[in-house]
Structure formats: structure tokens, C-alpha cells
């Protein structure tokens, strides 16, 4: 698979969904596709996180060969997620930059701006990166999208706690949504 292969890249405008960072969603899709089609020579160096991604997603023969090469290599060392030390992280970083450029371009059109203003969510990492590259007029829209989900979840969690104190345990789905939101704040890359 070539870097940035259009065969696996859905347009960012088709990935947007309420309550999800579209860049994280695009990167997750890329990571899953990359792991499934990973060749032995595309991932000679990998971090601890991507060792598990590779083990769980790539074809077994590729995984065995990749891991065997690492075990036989006296200079191989596991590393934390880092594009300079992990081939998988490096590919994720390249894809992230492609997606950030794409979302910057799409924010120039009313459709994505409207979605972001009304329903959108961006994780802290990707939202902060975008803000630094946007014109001032669009920065406020991104900042609002970053904080809106937190306010919604805060309200829902407070309601859940009130009901739980009264003995009503219904509505626990908010706990999963809150966990997903909190985990997403770091971005998918690390």
C-alpha cells in the first residue's frame, strides 16, 4: 500500500458524525486498513502500542515475520509511540497531516463549518493543531466545538448522578460516552 493511497481514504466530509473527532475517525480507519495490509518491510520498527495493533490486525504470516525479525535483531528496542522510532507512528503522522490539510480546506466550505458549529466535536490534540492553522474567524468555531461536548457530557453526568442517588440507575450509557470522550481527548496517535 502506498502512503496516502486514495483507495482507502474516505473524504473527511463523509466521516463526520455527531460526537466524534473526524480526524481521529479518519486515523482509526487508516490504522485499521494499514494493519490489515501491512507488509513485512513496512514496519521494521514499532512502538509498544503498535505491537499490539499489528498482532491483532495484520495477517498472521506478516506478524510472525515482523516479530521474528525484531527478535533476531540485536539492536531492536521497544519504544513509546513516536514517529521517529516507530514506522507505524510515522505513517499515522503522515496521514494525520494529510487529513488536517483536508479539513482545513473543507472548513472553507459551508457544509463542514455548519456541521462543526452545530454538532461537531474535535479532540483536544487535533482541535489545537487546527486552531493554529485557521483564520481568526474560524478559530472560534473550532474552540466552540472542542468545548461543546464537554458541557453536554457534564450536564448528562450530573443528571445521571441525581437519578442514581434517587435509586434510578437508567441512563448509564452516558458513562460509556464520557469514557469515549475522555480517551479521545488525547487523539488516536498515542
- pLDDT, tens only, 140-153: 888 888 888 788 88
Is the pLDDT at 181 greater than 50, yes or no?
A: yes
pLDDT, tens digit, for every residue of 157-172?
999 998 888 887 776 6
Q: Which helix (H) or strand (E) holds 117?
A: helix 110-118
Report which DSSP code applies to 43.
-
Cβ(113)–Cβ(134) below 8 Å? no
Q: How far apart are alpha carbons 56 and 35 in whole angstroms?
A: 9
pLDDT in tens, 55-88: 888 788 888 888 888 888 888 777 778 888 888 8
Q: Confidence band (pLDDT; 50, 70, 90) for 7?
A: very low
d(CA 16, CA 19): 9
pLDDT band for position 93 (cuts 50, 70, 90): very high
How far is it, in rounded angstroms, from Cα 43 to Cα 64? Answer: 12
pLDDT of residue 2: 44
pLDDT for res 6: 40
Task: Report percent pLDDT > 90 for the chain.
Answer: 6
- Where does residue 152 rank: exposed (0-12), middle (13-18), buried (19+ CB within 10 A)? middle
Whether this model's pTM surpasses 0.85: no
In 3D space, the residue among 106, 113, 103 whose CA is nearest the CA of residue 144 turns out to be 113
Amino acid at each position: 500500500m502506498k502512503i496516502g493511497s486514495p483507495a482507502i481514504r474516505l473524504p473527511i466530509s463523509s466521516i463526520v458524525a455527531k460526537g466524534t473527532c473526524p480526524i481521529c475517525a479518519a486515523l482509526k480507519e487508516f490504522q485499521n486498513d494499514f494493519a490489515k495490509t501491512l507488509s513485512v518491510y513496512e514496519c521494521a520498527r514499532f512502538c509498544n502500542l503498535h505491537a499490539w495493533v499489528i498482532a491483532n490486525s495484520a495477517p498472521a504470516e506478516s506478524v510472525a515475520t515482523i516479530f521474528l525479525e525484531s527478535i533476531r535483531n540485536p539492536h531492536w528496542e521497544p519504544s513509546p509511540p513516536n514517529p521517529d522510532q516507530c514506522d507505524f507512528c510515522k505513517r499515522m503522522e503522515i496521514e494525520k497531516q494529510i487529513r488536517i490539510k483536508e479539513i482545513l480546506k473543507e472548513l472553507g466550505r459551508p457544509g463542514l463549518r455548519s456541521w462543526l458549529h452545530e454538532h461537531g466535536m474535535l479532540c483536544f490534540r487535533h482541535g489545537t493543531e487546527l486552531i493554529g492553522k485557521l483564520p481568526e474567524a474560524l478559530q472560534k468555531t473550532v474552540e466552540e466545538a472542542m468545548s461543546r461536548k464537554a458541557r453536554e457530557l457534564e450536564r448528562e453526568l450530573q443528571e445521571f448522578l441525581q437519578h442514581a442517588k434517587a435509586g434510578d440507575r437508567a441512563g448509564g450509557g452516558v458513562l460509556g460516552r464520557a469514557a469515549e470522550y475522555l480517551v479521545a481527548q488525547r487523539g488516536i496517535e498515542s
